[in-house]
Structure 1
Amino acid sequence: MTAWEESRRAFTDAARWFTATTALVDGRWESPGLGEWDVRALTGHTSRSLLTVEEYLARPAAHVDVATAADYYRATRSIAAGPGVAQRGREAGAALGDDPAAAVTAITDRVLALVATRDGTEPLTTLAGGMRLADYLPTRVFELTVHTADLAVALGVPAEPPGTAAAHALRLVAELAVGDGRAGALLLAATGRSALPAGFSVLRGPATPEGRSGP
């Protein structure tokens, strides 16, 4: 299996897990979700992990500005910490309409079918600038995996992602930690030697009250 096929499989598995978890909401759309978000807004924000792939592919980039998924997160840290992310989540939640679970299923089916027709070399325009699809997709695997886990916690169901998606997300966490000189703290915590420092985040430094990940 090529790296692109691996990434696409992880994206598919993460998207299907999101769809399956959304189906468990059962009317609890106004229940607490994550920080200032209710379940609907959290679901809306998570759906953007799919919708941005579709949106950005429709805007081909003239050149590549961002070479890796880790570089994307470093380039968008200030955006992720801003109030616009929370508002876009609420707007995306509202856009899911009267049957959010059905809307998520339709979005998932449509975007997975789109990605299946690509080979990963396509240049697209992201918030951080031009990227290849193969380099951008791991950020979407990460977002889907982390925020579906958030949704599972909000619903009181097991928050255990598919192995393919978890492996991709953890790989990105490791890359960010190493690149930012935070690998030691992460390794010590992961092996039970010490707790992570207060507010530790490989994404934006000190965690924000909302606990959001990326844009």
Structure 2
Amino acid sequence: MTATVFLQAAEMFAAAVEQVRDDQWDQPGLGEWDVRALVGHTLRAVTTVSSYLAQPAPDSVECGSAGEYFVRVRTLPAADDRAVADRGHQAGRDLGPDPLATVRAGIARAGDRLAQLEDADPVLPTVAGGMRLSDYLPTRTFELLAHSNDLAAATGAALVVPPEVAESALQTAVAAMARLGDGHALFLHLLGRPGGEHRPMFG
């Protein structure tokens, strides 16, 4: 089920990329990224799945949930703002002359690897440590929804969000916030109740 939702999120992202006009790729995307870098960064939510599946499985699970993943990665050197920004710029350059074709090819590779799995829930070597595929994929669904929204805001693309994708991303966000002690504040915020001020976790 998590693989199905992840691929739905990937197709949602591709549909937004299809709407990017030729004259928009160098326009502002998010922060210091132009649209090309934003799309390249977002595609990494897909290509890391293929990359991790191609590597030997770790011996143990070190990160047991999507919520724990986001708590762990925010403390890593690779999560430094400068490092993230630089990877985004490089990912944008890696899209090549036909960004949409590169996006589509990346999604197809991930889909093929998932379809060919002999072990339905292998352990992957993620930046947060060994994780079950079923726990890692929701983190990618979250990223795809977050940055597809950014892309739509930057380009005016119409974004159609499958309910399953929204549900998965919300579950991941709530789990991460709860681990940081802000779960109750987030709950109050969703209800529109007093005391619902919380620190944004995701930039």
TM-score by length of 1: 0.85
Q: Map of 1:1-215 to 2, 5 A cutoff?
A: 6-27=1-22, 28-59=24-55, 60-79=57-76, 80-118=79-117, 119-194=119-194, 197=197, 200-203=199-202, 211=203
Offset, 1:201: 2.0
Q: Displacement, 1:143?
A: 0.7
Q: For the residues of structure 2 that align with 1:38 and 1:195, how far apart are their CA atoms?
A: 36
* Separation in 2, partners of 1:156, 1:196: 30
Compute the RMSD of aligned alpha carbons.
Answer: 1.8
> Per residue, is there more helix in 1 or in 2?
2
Q: Which moved more, 1:77-86 or 1:171-180?
A: 77-86
- Give the Cα–Cα distance (whole angstroms) in 2 for the partners of residues 154 and 170 of structure 1: 22
For residue 69 of structure 1, report the CA deviation from its aligned partner. Answer: 1.2
With the length of structure 2 as denominator, give the TM-score of the two structures: 0.90
Q: How many residues align?
A: 198
- Note closer, same or farther for the CA distance 1:103–1:168 as it changes in structure 2 (3 Å cut): same
Which amino acid in structure 1 is aligned with residue 48 of structure 2?
T
* Structure 2: gaps spanning 5 or more residues: none
Maintained 8 Å contact 2:58/2:124 = yes
For residues 125 and 16 of structure 1, the distance between their equivalents in structure 2, rounded to whole angstroms, comes to 25
> Hey, what's the Cα distance between the residues in 2 that align with 1:96 and 1:115?
22
**1: CA distance, partners of 2:44 / 2:88:** 8
Q: Which moved more, 1:148-157 or 1:12-21?
A: 148-157
TM-fit CA distance, 1:193:
3.0
Whether the 8 Å contact between 2:10 and 2:144 is mirrored in structure 1 is yes
> Offset at 1:53?
0.6
How far apart, CA to CA, are the structure 1 residues paired with 2:106 and 2:71?
28
User: 1:120 touches 1:132 (CA, 8 Å); kept in 2?
Assistant: no
Structure 1 stretches of 5 or more lacking a match? 1-5, 204-210
Letter in 2 for 1:31: Q
Alignment partners' CA distance in 2, 1:152 and 1:196: 27
Say if 1:56 and 1:124, in contact at 8 Å, map to a contact too: yes
Are the aligned partners of 2:189 and 2:197 in contact in 1 as well (CA < 8 Å)?
Answer: no
